[in-house]
């Protein structure tokens, strides 16, 4: 989704290009793209210049929505999502702490949109480019 957001407005992107850019398996990516397309996050474009593109404005999609769709349950410990799995839940202070931490993570993921992620990516690329330029000029031999 980050790669599609970065390429928003530039036309469809091939899965193989996304896989290469993000350093993930194309096979794995082909499994992820299905629920993203079915749930309206991604559009597929057929034909010679086809591929995938983001279906909504990146500012309208937050990271929690994506994780909820792809991971179903992002609970840090099983007893949070399935309290019946542990008989100690009613008296367990650790359970409450894990619930609070999970809530904070959910709040943060809810507050970060793909647009924010794109901006962060561009900033990191600028810094990496500056670093590479400095590194290259420092290593020049005169």
Q: Please give, one letter per residue, the 3-state secondary structure of 1-49.
A: CHHHHHCCCCCCECHHHHHHHHCCCHHHHHHHHHHHHHCCCEEEECCCC
DSSP state of 59: G
What confidence tens digit (pLDDT) does each residue in 53-107 have? 999 999 999 999 999 999 988 888 999 999 999 999 999 999 999 999 999 999 9
Averaged over 6-19, what is the pLDDT?
94
pLDDT of residue 142: 45
Cβ neighbours of residue 77 under 8 Å, at least 6 residues apart? 95, 98
pLDDT of residue 32: 95
Q: Among 3-12, 20-29, 42-51, 132-141, which stretch is predicted with the lowest mean pLDDT?
A: 132-141
| pTM value > 0.85 | no
pLDDT of residue 113: 98
CATH level 3 topology of 2-138: Arc Repressor Mutant, subunit A (1.10.10)
The domain spans of the chain are 2-138
Average pLDDT, the chain: 90
What confidence tens digit (pLDDT) does each residue in 38-58 have? 999 999 999 888 899 999 999
Tokens linked to 17 = 């290009």
Averaged over 125-132, what is the pLDDT?
78
């Amino acid at each position: 989704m980050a790669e599609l957001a970065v390429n928003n407005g530039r036309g469809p992107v091939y899965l193989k290009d996304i896989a290469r850019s993000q350093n993930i398996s194309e096979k794995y990516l082909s499994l992820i793209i299905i629920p993203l397309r079915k749930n309206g996050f991604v559009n597929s474009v057929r034909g010679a210049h086809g591929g995938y593109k983001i279906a909504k404005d990146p500012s309208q999609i937050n990271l929690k929505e994506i994780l909820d769709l792809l991971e179903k349950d992002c609970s840090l410990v099983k007893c949070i999502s399935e309290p019946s799995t542990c008989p100690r839940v009613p008296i367990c202070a650790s359970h409450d702490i894990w619930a609070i931490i999970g809530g904070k993570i959910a709040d943060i993921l809810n507050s970060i949109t793909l647009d924010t992620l794109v901006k962060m990516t561009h900033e990191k690329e600028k810094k990496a480019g500056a670093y590479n330029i400095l590194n290259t000029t420092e290593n020049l031999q005169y």
